[in-house]
């Protein structure tokens, strides 16, 4: 007979902040099942201290290893006003990719002077809004964008240019960003990066500050970042030879986290120490001026700080095939499984010490066969009403949620030191229908 591992051994090992107290899962000092009871499910739970500690680790390491730096939190990972009020006091800036993210960041207290505006197709109104708000820098991704910035900028506007260094990072193809056919950035290899940068001198209200890349997401190997540093610093040498100074080097985000047992990410300290030291020596060996280093971690700051709680409803066994345990969430709160074949661990909130001797597929409630949250996981025997916690859901879950099947986007509850409070309040049916027009061609639309 094989030894059955408990969930506590198997699933929680990498999550130092999730603990078990007499068989019950504890997050941020709160019992998960009590949160489910108090706030209902599905529920996103966000461990504030976990995110703070990770963000602070980025800042601390760089202060030590490479003092001319900015850590810009990548808003796309988890964007709501409260996250900025947590991260801004730690000295972080933000990367935003839309007017909506910019608005939310400012609303949450992020200083626009610390905001970098990314995106491969910023609209004219977004550009005008960003200029009005005083964002620090645009990360330019097209010639069209330069003309729009120039049209609206009333004073010289800082920009850096997104380039494609052609680094093959080992991750899902939809989250790779520097393949030769990528929609992002200007290729270094084919000379278009150099051309666009040279063209910036034609705009008297645009000030070129540097170059940016982002090689992909959920990357484990530090070597991928080293290759990017080599290619980017080689390119700086080239630009310098054309008389162009490069003050800033933005290496993007992409640092991997734990989702399942096989995932072996480095810590933020390790990723940063490695990249900072590698950059220092790359700069030295090429004899170039050390640029300001910008990094844009998203997933690694918020991913492991989040869990999602669900309640088990229907349990259905298909003889000799599988047993489905259906929960009250699904692809509307977690589209990552259907998009990227993402895999997760889960814990039954009040059976966290029980042996995992049953196999389930955790199904969502959407009308799609593909709406499966975990396809095959060993758990203790489940019963209707059990609360399940899916782990590592802090990044690209709330921010990618939808109202598919007119399910409400779940609220986000922040937890810390045994306290809990809404970070994002529940969405009501009224909220979901607020902008619906019933009689579309009648005069008042009601």
Active site residues: 367
Distance CA(81)–CA(370), nearest Å, equals: 32
- Residue 65 and residue 269 in contact, taking contact as beta carbons nearer than 8 Å: no
Q: Least separation, in Å, of the C-beta of 99 and ligand LLP?
A: 17
Complex with ligand LLP: residue 76 or 345, whichever CB lies closer: 76
Q: Give, for 262, the enclosing helix (H) or strand (E).
A: none
210: Cβ contacts below 8 Å, ≥ 6 apart: 160, 161, 246, 247, 248, 249, 250, 291, 292
Q: By C-alpha distance, which of 190, 79, 187, 77 is closest to 141?
A: 187
Q: Give, for 420, the enclosing helix (H) or strand (E).
A: strand 419-424
Q: By C-alpha distance, which of 31, 2, 29, 1 is closest to 352?
A: 31
User: What is the CB neighbour count within 10 angstroms for residue 379?
Assistant: 24
Q: Least separation, in Å, of the C-beta of 172 and ligand LLP?
A: 7
Measured from each CB, the residue nearest to ligand LLP is 253
* Coil vs helix vs strand at 251: coil
Complex with ligand LLP: residue 218 or 311, whichever CB lies closer: 218
DSSP letter, residue 222: H
Distance CA(110)–CA(113), nearest Å, equals: 8
- Residue 127 and residue 133 in contact, taking contact as beta carbons nearer than 8 Å: no
Listing DSSP states for 140-187 in one string gives: E--HHHHHHHHHH-SS-EEEEEEEE------S-GGGB--STT-SSSEE
Complex with ligand LLP: residue 27 or 169, whichever CB lies closer: 169
Q: Least separation, in Å, of the C-beta of 330 and ligand LLP?
A: 16
Q: Least separation, in Å, of the C-beta of 160 and ligand LLP?
A: 11
Which tokens is 213 given? 């890349």
Complex with ligand LLP: residue 26 or 127, whichever CB lies closer: 127
Complex with ligand LLP: residue 107 or 183, whichever CB lies closer: 183
Residue that the structure tokens 């599905």 belong to: 42
Q: Least separation, in Å, of the C-beta of 278 and ligand LLP?
A: 18
The residue ranges that bind ligand LLP (CB under 6 A) are 74, 76-77, 95, 118, 175, 214, 217-218, 252-255, 296-300, 336, 340, 395-396
Complex with ligand LLP: residue 24 or 162, whichever CB lies closer: 162
Complex with ligand LLP: residue 253 or 380, whichever CB lies closer: 253
Q: Least separation, in Å, of the C-beta of 268 and ligand LLP?
A: 10
Cis peptide before 293 (omega within 30 of 0): no
**Composition of the chain by helix, strand, coil, percent to 5:** 35, 25, 40
Q: Least separation, in Å, of the C-beta of 397 and ligand LLP?
A: 8
């Amino acid at each position: 007979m094989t030894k059955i591992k408990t969930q506590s051994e198997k699933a929680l090992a990498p999550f130092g902040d999730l603990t078990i107290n007499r068989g019950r899962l504890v997050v941020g000092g709160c019992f998960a099942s009590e949160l489910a009871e108090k706030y209902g499910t599905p529920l996103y739970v966000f461990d504030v201290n976990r995110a703070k500690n990770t963000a602070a680790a980025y800042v601390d390491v760089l202060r030590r290893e490479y003092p001319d730096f900015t850590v810009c939190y990548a808003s796309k990972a988890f964007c709501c006003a409260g996250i900025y009020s947590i991260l801004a006091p730690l000295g972080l800036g933000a990367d935003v990719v839309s007017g909506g993210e910019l608005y939310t960041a400012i609303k949450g207290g992020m200083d626009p002077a610390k905001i970098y505006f990314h995106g491969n197709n910023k609209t004219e109104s977004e550009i005008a809004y960003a200029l009005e708000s005083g964002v620090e820098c645009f990360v330019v991704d097209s010639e069209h964008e330069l003309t729009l910035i120039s049209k609206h900028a009333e004073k010289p506007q800082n920009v850096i240019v997104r380039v494609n260094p052609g680094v093959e990072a080992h991750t899902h193809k939809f989250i790779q960003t520097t393949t030769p056919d990528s929609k992002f950035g200007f290729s270094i290899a084919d000379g278009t990066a150099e051309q666009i940068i040279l063209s910036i001198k034609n705009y008297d209200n645009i000030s070129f500050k540097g170059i940016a890349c982002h090689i992909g997401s959920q990357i484990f190997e530090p070597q991928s970042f080293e290759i990017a540093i080599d290619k980017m610093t080689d390119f700086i040498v080239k630009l310098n030879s054309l008389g162009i100074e490069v003050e800033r080097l933005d290496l993007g985000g992409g640092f991997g986290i734990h989702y399942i047992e096989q995932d072996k990410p480095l810590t933020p300290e390790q990723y940063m120490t490695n990249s900072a030291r590698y950059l220092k020596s790359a700069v030295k060996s090429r004899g170039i001026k050390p640029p300001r280093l910008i990094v844009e971690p998203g997933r690694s700051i918020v991913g492991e700080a989040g869990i999602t709680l669900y309640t088990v409803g229907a349990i259905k066994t298909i003889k000799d095939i599988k047993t489905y345990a259906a929960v009250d969430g699904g692809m509307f709160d977690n589209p990552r499984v259907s998009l990227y074949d993402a895999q997760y661990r889960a814990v039954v909130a009040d059976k966290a010490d029980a042996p995992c001797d049953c196999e389930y597929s955790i199904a969502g409630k959407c009308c799609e066969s593909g709406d499966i949250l975990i396809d095959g996981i060993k758990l203790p025997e489940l019963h209707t009403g059990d609360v399940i916690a899916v782990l590592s859901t802090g990044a690209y879950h709330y921010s990618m949620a939808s109202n598919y099947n007119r399910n409400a986007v779940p609220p986000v509850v922040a937890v810390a030191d045994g306290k809990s409070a809404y970070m994002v309040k529940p969405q009501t049916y009224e909220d979901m229908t607020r902008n619906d027009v019933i009689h579309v061609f009648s005069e008042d639309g009601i």
